[in-house]
Amino acid sequence: MTDLAVSAWLGTAWSTEDTVAVAREAEAAGYDGLWVADHFMGNTGTEQRSDQHLHECFTLLAGLATAVPRVRLGSLVASMTYRHPAVLANIAATLDDLSGGRLVLGVGAGWQLNEHAAYGIELGSVRERIDRFEEGLAVLHGLTRAPRTTERGAHYTVTDAPPVTTGRHIPVLIGAKGERRMLGVVARWADEWNTWSTPELFARKSAVLDEHCHRIGRDPRTIRRSTQAVLQLDGDPATAPSGVVAGSPAQIVDVIGRWREAGLDELVVPGIRGSADEARELFARFQSEIRPQLV
């Protein structure tokens, strides 16, 4: 069994001072990566506005690129609806250069209703989002990997555009769970794939991703796979809500073992549901009580 990477997911509602401090502590504790979400306000599940302000993803990552020198840094994940893909490609190229090649560009089709409604940003139906997302991925791929890029689609037009990088490969991670279409997008465009999951759900979706890869002639092993769930150390597994992994450290180690058996490459530990101090405690306990058992 290959070594499992473990990364920390930082909250964007914290002060920027706390974000940098927790990031430095996580790196010093031995985490392999740091992730930041791309949202502007708290999610209400509807178009109802939220008064919770969140710091902007790529500005935070730029700060982390200079403050935290060792680990991978990534967006989990950037909505294609918020920035033109050519703008996003330029942001990514600058961040990758600033970080010395440590950026993972995590992207998704977009979903949070209240942000789009509040800011007048078009979201569209699920089909429209995925159509736009695929066009955007073609633009991103071209601008970061081709000598020239021309794309003329329903959503984006790019004409004879030069590359935005100096030849360094910027990994693209796609956040996706839809089995019929989105995992096919992952198979075609992604270097990495991420989804919220349980071990059983991860195994099923990973198998579907493999099928999409085989269909287009791609080796499934070329896609790095990561997942996350809310972790409740010492919580009761019998009463834990959906999407939460609860239990003693030994029970959580068992769950992680089942993820690994299903082909997991990287576990993301979310510190996004609470304060910076609560995240500190979770990250520290994970490294001291759980990670030593992941052998």
Same domain for 57 and 6, yes or no, is no
- Same structural domain, 156 and 279: no
Domain edge (last residue) among 192, 221, 250:
221
* pLDDT average, residue stretch 221-228: 98
245 and 213 fall within a common domain: no
Residues 123 and 236 in one domain: no
pLDDT single digits (tens) 131-187: 999 999 999 999 999 999 999 999 999 999 999 987 789 999 999 999 999 999 999
Task: Pick the last residue of a domain from 221, 242, 274.
Answer: 221
- Show the domain range for 279: 1-15+229-295
Are 101 and 165 found together in one domain?
Answer: yes
Are 150 and 254 found together in one domain? no
Q: Given pLDDT bands bounded at 50, 70 and 90, which one contains residue 62?
A: very high
Last residue of a domain, one of 205, 221, 237: 221
Same-domain check for residues 128 and 5: no
For residues 78 and 195, membership in a common domain is answered with: yes
Mean per-residue pLDDT, 40-63: 96
**Contact (Cβ atoms closer than 8 angstroms) between residue 83 and residue 92:** no
The whole-model pTM stands at: 0.97
Instruction: Report the alpha-carbon distance of residue 175 to residue 196 in Å, rounded.
Output: 9
- The region of weakest confidence among 52-56, 98-102, 239-243 is 239-243
Same domain, 110 and 73: yes
Q: What is the CATH number of the domain that holds 166?
A: 3.20.20.30
130-143: pLDDT as tens digits:
999 999 999 999 99
Contacts 24+ apart (CB under 8 A), 271-278: 271/8, 271/9, 271/10, 271/11, 271/22, 272/9, 272/10, 272/11, 272/12, 272/37, 273/11, 273/230, 274/11, 275/11, 275/14, 276/11, 276/14, 276/15, 276/18, 276/19, 276/21, 276/22
> How many domains, in total, are found in the chain?
2
pLDDT at 159: 98
Q: Calculate the average pLDDT of the chain.
A: 96
Same domain (yes/no): 258, 201: no
Question: Is 292 found in the same domain as 157?
Answer: no
Residue 278: CB atoms within 10 Å: 12
Residues 149, 233 within the same domain:
no
Mean pLDDT of 239-265: 95
Task: Please check the confidence at residue 295 and state whether its pLDDT lies above 80.
Answer: no
Question: How large is the average pLDDT for residues 219-236?
Answer: 96
Q: Average pLDDT for residues 192-203, to the nearest whole number?
A: 97
Question: What pLDDT does residue 166 have?
Answer: 72
